[in-house]
């Protein structure tokens, strides 16, 4: 069974598969906690599926922070 969107197409929008998993998990948690989906045809779909489709449609993005700067600032 093919899933949509495919993992290959999703990884192109993020830097690593780990980032993709983390981003999808965080968004799925938000959806489970009651946030509204950002895609129109979300009814009946599971939160992770909705999260992956939102990432594919570029409705969910992320920004990589520089941990060294954060660590230096907190010291």
State how far the Cα of 52 lies from the Cα of 6, in Å rounded to an integer. Answer: 9
Range from 6-10, 12-16, 34-38 that averages highest in pLDDT: 34-38
Confidence tier at 69 by pLDDT (50, 70, 90): low
pLDDT given at position 64: 80
Span 19-24, mean pLDDT?
94
Sign of CA dihedral 39, 3, 46, 35: negative
Longest Cα–Cα distance in the chain: 50
Q: Which residue has the tokens 């495919």?
A: 6
Work out the mean pLDDT of the chain and round it to a whole number.
Answer: 86
Which class is 7-74 in CATH? alpha beta
State the DSSP string of 47-69: HHHHHHHHHHTTSS------HHH
């Amino acid at each position: 069974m093919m899933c949509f969107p495919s993992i290959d197409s999703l990884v192109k929008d993020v830097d690593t598969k780990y980032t993709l998993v983390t981003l999808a998990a965080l968004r799925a948690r938000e959806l489970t906690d009651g946030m509204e989906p950002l895609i129109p045809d979300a009814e009946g779909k599971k939160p992770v599926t909705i999260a992956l489709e939102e990432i594919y449609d570029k409705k969910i993005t992320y920004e990589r922070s520089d941990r060294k700067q954060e660590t230096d600032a907190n010291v």
